[in-house]
């Protein structure tokens, strides 16, 4: 019995090693710009709510929308596409997108 036990133990160790190696092979990094949203106040909320169904590219490749359009986008994601976004979080999400991927309309007094 003992040799068989040792053999299966070896097999398990080998299998784990093989799994580790294949996991390491898959561990490549995407270019930062496309993999995630800009880090800023609200970005954690956005990463938690807005990259479940599509990549961050859907957001980062948009033109710089005014606030009204970002507001409509977030509401559309929630209502039309059934994104599980808490209604209370919508203002903070919209602020984040306007500040990082949009433009204020009218432009903020401090903007150049
Ligand atoms: C429940 C899934 C889901 C979640 C969560 C989600 N979206 Fe979407 N989103 C979609 C679908 C579906 C489309 C349309 C895809 C297509 O047309 O190819 C889309 C498209 C978009 C587009 C492209 C423009 C458009 O209207 O088609 C933007 C911008 C966008 N989403 C932003 C967001 C933002 C911001 C959030 C977070 C507040 C979010 N999405 C969360 C499903 C989702």
Q: What is the pTM of this model?
A: 0.74
Of 59, 58, 93, residue with least CA distance to 78: 93
Protein residue closest via CA to atom 23 of ligand 1: 58
Same domain, 17 and 38: no
Q: pLDDT tens digits for 40-97? A: 999 999 999 999 999 999 999 999 999 999 999 999 999 999 999 999 999 999 999 9
Protein residue with its CA nearest to atom 37 in ligand 1: 50
What range defines the domain where residue 56 resides? Answer: 32-103
Q: Give dist(CA 79, CA 85) in Å, integer.
A: 9
Question: Measured from the CB, is residue 99 less than 6 Å from ligand 1?
Answer: no
Position 109 in a domain: no
d(CA 31, CA 40): 18
Which residues is 66 bridged to in the sheet? 103
Question: 76: CA distance to ligand 1 center in Å?
Answer: 8
- CB of 83 within 6 A of ligand 1: the answer is yes
Q: State whether 82 and 49 are in the same domain.
A: yes
What DSSP element (H or E) covers 103? strand 102-103
């Amino acid at each position: 019995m003992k040799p068989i036990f040792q053999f299966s133990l070896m097999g398990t160790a080998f299998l784990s090693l093989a799994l580790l190696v294949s996991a390491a092979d898959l561990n490549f990094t995407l270019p930062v710009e496309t993999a995630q949203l800009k880090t800023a106040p609200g970005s954690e909320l956005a990463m938690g709510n807005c990259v479940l169904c599509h990549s961050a590219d859907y957001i980062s490749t948009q033109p710089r929308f005014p606030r009204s359009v970002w507001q409509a986008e977030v509401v559309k994601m929630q209502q039309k596409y059934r994104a599980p976004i808490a209604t209370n979080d919508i203002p903070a999400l919209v602020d984040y997108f306007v500040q990082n991927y949009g433009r204020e309309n009218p432009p903020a007094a401090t903007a150049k």
